Amino acid sequence: MTHFQPATLRQSLLSNYPVGLLLFTLLVPFVLSAENPYWKQFGNEPVFIEQNNNGNRQMLKFVAYRNNMLVAQLKMTDRDGRSSIAEVSQPVSESMVKTLNFQIKSLPQAYQLIDSGNHLGAAKRLRPKVYPLIKFHRVPESFIQLHQPVRLLIKSLINAGELAEAEDLIQRIELDQVDFKYSENTQSLLLKYQEVEDFESLARVAKLLPVQGDYSANLSPLIEVADALRGAGYYDAVVPLYRTIQQVVDPVAKRNIDLWHAYSLILANRLEEAAPLINSIEEPKPNDPLFSLYKLLYGSRMHRLGNYNEALDTLTRGFVRAQTSYSWVPEMLYLIGDCYLRAQEPIAAKNVWLEIVALYPASPWAKRTNEALNALPKTEQAL
């Protein structure tokens, strides 16, 4: 079996220029999960909170949070003994929060279950009392007695593998209006979806993360999600993520994102849409790390246009300027190998693809490469 080392591979690529590429555009159906039965059962229940105003204690029945005010229902009785229900709205302030006493009796038991590794058991304990709190998620973070159980339930659901339910709760929370800790819950959910390779859900949840202002720390995990989706072939799902990222990154980082945005448009076969963006990108100098990424962009565009020899030439020029640590090298090698396959050179394709499996086994492109290797003619697999 011939197995090129990187230097040998570069030499071989420079002396062989044929054709090809095989990429599939997968569309992501952005559909909400099925109705959450627990929300129907618990979500609209009132929340009873004790208020202590200088020793004057009363139990308030809170039913909603509207216009930055907590809405409580009070039972009123007139002089004739007739009763009626009235709504009273109270603005939420630091001083008001200090007068409120809210305890979930099942919380200590939930923590014990979590400590023992029983996350599902903890979620079962928390659901009845925590679900009604979701509708109050926009109250200030200083009301930690409310926020802490909500985040604990979401975390327990994620760790228990109840990902659809966790997503349903996150969908109900305005992440750009609450503390960043809720974004951290969402990042944990994204990691789980990535682990189980549920890319449709990964794309759907990624769109929920805010990135403006105080939420800029979401940028890095969002870029990682975009890389995972692109590697899995979900090109149309990646495009809106890159557009979101473009709006907030600094000019230096934007050069990188612009290239990935344009590249994803090409992979999605949206060439006309990609053309203005590609034309606006200045070619980096050969010693610039982005030079090889630029060649990946143009090489893939040439392939889509049917210029297979030019595609391989361009991709090869980018590869010889790349370092093995560059994140885009595995997919560049994948395309180069596919060019060889289209040129009826399956042995050369196999040798290139074997480099991906050997050097980048954790890359999402390694899985696609193994699939491509298994699809080679039997005679070539045996070599």
- Counting other chains too, the contacts that 219-227 makes at CB distance below 8 Å and 24 or more residues apart are 219/245, 219/248, 219/249, 221/187, 221/190, 223/257, 225/190, 225/194, 226/260, 227/327, 227/364
Same-domain status, 363 and 279? yes
Element (H, E) at 211: none
Higher pLDDT, 16 or 364: 364
Range of the domain at 51: 42-96
For helices 219-231 and 199-206, angle between their N-to-C axes, nearest 10 degrees: 150
Give φ, ψ of 4 to 5 degrees: -70, 140
pLDDT digits over 111-156, tens only? 999 999 999 999 999 999 999 999 999 998 988 989 999 999 999 9
Q: What percent of the chain has pLDDT over 70?
A: 88
Residue 258 placed within a domain: no
Same-domain status, 279 and 355? yes
Residue 253 placed within a domain: no
pLDDT given at position 212: 92
Do residues 92 and 64 lie in contact, with contact meaning Cβ atoms separated by under 8 Å?
A: no
Same-domain status, 339 and 280? yes
pLDDT given at position 381: 61
User: What is the number of helices (H) and of strands (E) in the chain?
Assistant: 19, 5
Beta strand spans in 29-125 (E): 47-53, 56-66, 69-77, 83-91, 100-101
**Ordered DSSP codes for 218-276:** GHHHHHHHHHHHHHTT-HHHHHHHHHHHHTTS-HHHHHHHHHHHHHHHHHTT-HHHHHH
Residue 186 placed within a domain: no
- Model confidence at 367, pLDDT cuts 50, 70, 90, reads confident
Do residues 211 and 222 lie in contact, with contact meaning Cβ atoms separated by under 8 Å?
A: yes
Same-domain status, 285 and 357? yes
pLDDT given at position 164: 97
Residue 60 placed within a domain: yes
pLDDT digits over 187-198, tens only? 999 999 999 999
CA distances from 54 to 34, 94, 100, 101, 366 (A): 47, 15, 12, 13, 66
pLDDT given at position 88: 81
pLDDT digits over 214-262, tens only? 999 999 999 999 989 988 889 999 999 999 999 899 888 899 899 999 9
Do residues 308 and 343 lie in contact, with contact meaning Cβ atoms separated by under 8 Å?
A: yes
Residue 198 placed within a domain: no
Element (H, E) at 368: helix 364-374
Report the C-alpha gap between 129 and 146 in whole angstroms. Answer: 10
Same-domain status, 308 and 337? yes
pLDDT given at position 14: 40
Residues in the chain: 383
pLDDT given at position 27: 32
pLDDT digits over 50-96, tens only? 887 777 788 888 888 888 888 888 776 666 667 777 788 888 877 78
DSSP-derived secondary structure letter, 69: E
Residue 113 placed within a domain: no
Residue 233 placed within a domain: no
Q: How many distinct structural domains can be found in the chain? A: 2
Higher pLDDT, 27 or 280: 280
- Which residues contact residue 252 at a Cβ distance below 8 angstroms, ignoring those fewer than 6 apart? none
Q: Which of 33, 66, 96 is the last residue of a domain?
A: 96
Can you give the CATH number for the domain in which 325 is found?
A: 1.25.40.10
Same-domain status, 280 and 366? yes
Higher pLDDT, 87 or 213: 213
- Which residues contact residue 111 at a Cβ distance below 8 angstroms, ignoring those fewer than 6 apart? 122
How high is the mean pLDDT of the chain? 86
Model confidence at 25: pLDDT above 60: no
Report the C-alpha gap between 28 and 30 in whole angstroms. Answer: 6
Do residues 170 and 208 lie in contact, with contact meaning Cβ atoms separated by under 8 Å?
A: yes
